[in-house]
Structure 1
Amino acid sequence: MSQATSRPFDDIRALVAGMPGPDQAAVEAVRARDAELTKPRGSLGRMEHLVEWLAAWQGKGKPTVARPLVAVFAGSHGVTARGVSAFPDAVNRQMLENFAAGGAAINQICAAYGLGFKVFDLAIDMPTKDFTVEPAMAERDCVATMAFGMEAIAGGTDLLGIGEMGIGNTTCAAAIYAALYGGDPAHWVGRGTGVDDEGLARKVAAVEAGLALHREHLADPLEVLARLGGREICAMAGAILAARAERVPVVIDGYVATAAAAVLHALDPRALDHCLAAHVSAEGAHRDVLERIGKTPLLALGMRLGEGSGAGLAMGIVKAAHACHTEMATFDQANVSRGA
């Protein structure tokens, strides 16, 4: 395609097409060390597979978790004018201030597990358009925001957790799922911040209106993202792609973060091979989505907070798995007899 006729989305498709694969030699190196550790083979279950996953996608036989980061992307949404949230838009700015002051749940989780934490303000005071009457974002704005999200891995991050904050964004996520997977739109809609029955009905109506308005454009997952999504969802999709290119494993948070992943999976089912699903959320039809993208969640705690909280908890388990693999004594070191 000539430069004159290329579109911003073409750059994203090129990144997807050029994704690197796993490093199998690194996996074999991890397995070889695991066989020497003072435990029965396979006794740590999925913990052992987590270390193999780190090695495969970092491309290192001795994987690291030296600079883990939870990145939270914050955006605001025009669709909140439809009464789809129990909280006002002012909470967006207030929560950014709460993050900065260390007062949110994710601050405590990151402190408990020794995780880095960074918030990305995606024009929080400038909501996207109301997708029930026009596209939430133009194509160029969607791609520019994805590019902004790619900056999350700058600085040597070796394990990335992605999360989000934005009043109204569970409505956007539900619309994305309904567009990608079809079926009754109500199936994908949950109570988000805790809306009552009338609020839930307004959320369903908003999703239905968005699907009807944009129905001629929803065969393309990137159009789905731009027309129905939000800046934080775009940025998370960009972060996932950049992490793949730079060999950084990714831990995906809950219902809204998974919407960014689902768009990439719809483009190419291999796009999430370097990603781990942190948990299954109590919001909407998250379990259904995880099954569709082929991810088994690490945790099931009934959470629906967002802000990277599930990702942070899962990253604590990944850190523990890595510590067991790297710090446990071998049979020879500990003078422990091997099994038959």
Structure 2
Amino acid sequence: MEKIKGVINAIEEIDYSLAKKTQRRLDNLTKPQGSLGRLEELAKQIVAITRNENPQFKNKVIFTMAADHGVVEEKISAFPQEVTAQMVYNFLKGGAAINVLARHVGAKVIVVDMGVKERLKVKSERLKVKKIGLGTKNMAKGPAMSKEEAIRSIGAGIEVFEEEFKKGIDIVGIGDMGIGNTTSSSAIVASITGRPVEEVAGRGTGIDDKTLSHKIGVIKRALNINRPVSNDPIDVLSKVGGFEIGGLCGIVLASASKSVPVIIDGFICGAAALMAYSLEPKVKDYMIASHCSAEPGHKAVLKYIGLRPILDLGLRLGEGTGAALAMGIVEASIKILTQMATFKDASVSERIRG
């Protein structure tokens, strides 16, 4: 717990004065003031986060964290549990959607085994093994993990970030893989936000109406049995969370502590971001919401934290796919700031005043 506290204590407010200075610079570029809308907002946010007036994204990293969930035995998913491990192998071979989109934006994908049920039979420089356990326990029958395991999972996320930070990181994206993790995320979101389970539980991998109704019942049972304390995110994580969700929370906290912008993917990453925000509200300004997921609980997360997504493409895959897409837009905002000419430089007449 000391590691987590140390990281939280290192998180400072972003530099709002630099955001104001950046706005003046944007206003002098060869365009009507504010005409590039959200791109200008993103550029200001990145400068304020990094404390760098001319930031560059030379080292782009997407962390995709994987783990299994014991609640799968309640038959709440359209896919079997072994898909988690199979997809990790696919990530490492470069054949998944996240690999394609990461290559598209020039980002490196780091896959993290936080608690895949299978012991992975592969070694790769792109794989980090931080296994807390062989999947969580069934939260519908008791706590998903111990409090000590919850703390370890957040700490493992911090370690993963810090190990990669030594090699250089300019911007981070986070993603997930874990059959059953929308069920855990729904329970986390319902617990922390107080929203009814029916409003935050969705179809995940594509379940039908009957299975969705059953899934909602399972989540309600888990919350009733475990009674997570809503204002204690570590308690919530231990009772209804997942190892990868804890790890993603750790990455968000660690990124903020090092003044690195972090792009949040979909619903599961949103649940992790919600926990990080509950632990330290200052992380909000370091986070960029990549998109609004088709999962209804993601909208609840974004509203609760106060984040506005860049994209709305009906995505519900996870892996970090939305984060990769948004990373390209965020980088474009910085190129506008740093490469576009001013009125003076381009000898262009400014707006008529008066």
Q: 1:32 to 1:181 in 2, by over 3 A?
A: closer
Q: Secondary structure at the match of 2:112?
A: strand
The answer as to 2:162 corresponding to 1:141 is: no
Q: Which residue of 2 aligns with 1:173?
A: 185
Q: Which residue of 2 aligns with 1:321?
A: 333
Q: For the residues of structure 1 that align with 2:63 and 2:208, how far apart are their CA atoms?
A: 30
- Given candidates 56, 79, 95, the residue that maps to 1:103 is 95
1:14 CA displacement: 5.3
> Does structure 2 retain, via aligned residues, the 8 Å contact 1:191–1:284?
no
Q: Secondary structure at the match of 2:115?
A: coil
Q: Give the count of matched residue pairs.
A: 332
Structure 2 matches for 1:67-106, cutoff 5 A?
67-106=59-98
Structure 2 matches for 1:287-306, cutoff 5 A?
287-306=299-318
Of 205-214 and 215-224, deviating more is 215-224
Q: Which residue of 1 aligns with 2:29?
A: 37
Structure 2 matches for 1:1-340, cutoff 5 A?
8=1, 12-13=4-5, 15-124=7-116, 125=118, 126-150=134-158, 151-152=160-161, 153-154=164-165, 155-215=167-227, 217-340=229-352
1:335 CA displacement: 2.1
> Does structure 1 retain, via aligned residues, the 8 Å contact 2:200–2:300?
no
Structure 1 portions without partners, runs of 5+: 1-7
Q: For the residues of structure 2 that align with 1:49 and 1:186, how far apart are their CA atoms?
A: 34
> Does structure 1 retain, via aligned residues, the 8 Å contact 2:115–2:244?
no
The two structures have a TM-score, normalised by structure 2, of 0.89
Q: 1:183 to 1:249 in 2, by over 3 A?
A: closer
Deviations 1:52-111 (A, max 9, x none): 111111111222222121111111111101101110111111101111121111111111
Q: For the residues of structure 2 that align with 1:123 and 1:294, how far apart are their CA atoms?
A: 30
Q: 1:158 to 1:135 in 2, by over 3 A?
A: same
Q: For the residues of structure 2 that align with 1:132 and 1:225, how far apart are their CA atoms?
A: 14
Q: Secondary structure at the match of 2:58?
A: coil
Deviations 1:3-36 (A, max 9, x none): xxxxx3x653554354211113432442333233
Q: Secondary structure at the match of 1:122?
A: strand
Q: Which amino acid aligns with 1:94?
A: Q
Q: Secondary structure at the match of 1:285?
A: helix
1:318 CA displacement: 0.4
1:216 CA displacement: 6.0
Q: 1:65 to 1:80 in 2, by over 3 A?
A: same
Q: For the residues of structure 2 that align with 1:111 and 1:269, how far apart are their CA atoms?
A: 32
Of 308-317 and 62-71, deviating more is 62-71
Q: 1:184 to 1:25 in 2, by over 3 A?
A: closer
Question: What's the % identity of the aligned pairs?
Answer: 39
Structure 2 portions without partners, runs of 5+: 119-133
Q: For the residues of structure 2 that align with 1:36 and 1:21, how far apart are their CA atoms?
A: 27
Q: Which amino acid aligns with 2:206?
A: G
Q: Which amino acid aligns with 2:321?
A: S
Q: Secondary structure at the match of 1:61?
A: coil
Q: 1:304 to 1:264 in 2, by over 3 A?
A: same
1:281 CA displacement: 0.5
Q: Secondary structure at the match of 1:30?
A: helix
Of 269-278 and 42-51, deviating more is 269-278
> Does structure 1 retain, via aligned residues, the 8 Å contact 2:49–2:261?
yes
The two structures have a TM-score, normalised by structure 1, of 0.93
